[in-house]
Amino acid sequence: MEEKKKFNKQDYDNQYIKTHKDRINFLMDKGTKDRINLAAAKEGTTASEFIRRSIEERLYKFGFEKQIAVEDPELQAPKTQSQGPTSKINI
């Protein structure tokens, strides 16, 4: 009798991250992590999402295409006929 392999969500998640995400580790001055956590909490988001959005906003200012939605209207690309109501989100 052939035994069915059980679905392992942790293995699936790890494989997805390995295939679709890049990991960046960096050091910051003491206290910066606390400031990031406080700012993220004020926005109702996680520290990781706060950092991701901050980096994306800065990259956009240098002319790179946005990879996540940025809510600040000053950072939205001008709408064109092909763009529709919001900028494209690539995650």
According to the model, what pLDDT value does residue 84 have?
A: 39
Is residue 65 within 8 Å of residue 57, measured between CB atoms?
Answer: no
Q: How far apart are CA 19 and CA 22, in angstroms?
A: 9
Total tally of structural domains belonging to the chain: 1
According to the model, what pLDDT value does residue 44 have?
A: 97
pLDDT 10s digit of each residue in the chain, 91 long?
677 889 999 999 999 999 998 989 989 999 999 999 999 999 999 999 999 999 999 999 999 987 765 555 554 544 444 443 444 444 4
Element (H, E) at 54: helix 47-61
Is 57 among the domain residues? Answer: yes
Domain that holds residue 55: 28-91
Is 7 among the domain residues? Answer: no
According to the model, what pLDDT value does residue 32 have?
A: 97
Within 8 A by CB and 6+ apart from 54, the residues are none
Element (H, E) at 55: helix 47-61
Is 8 among the domain residues? Answer: no
Is residue 49 within 8 Å of residue 64, measured between CB atoms?
Answer: no
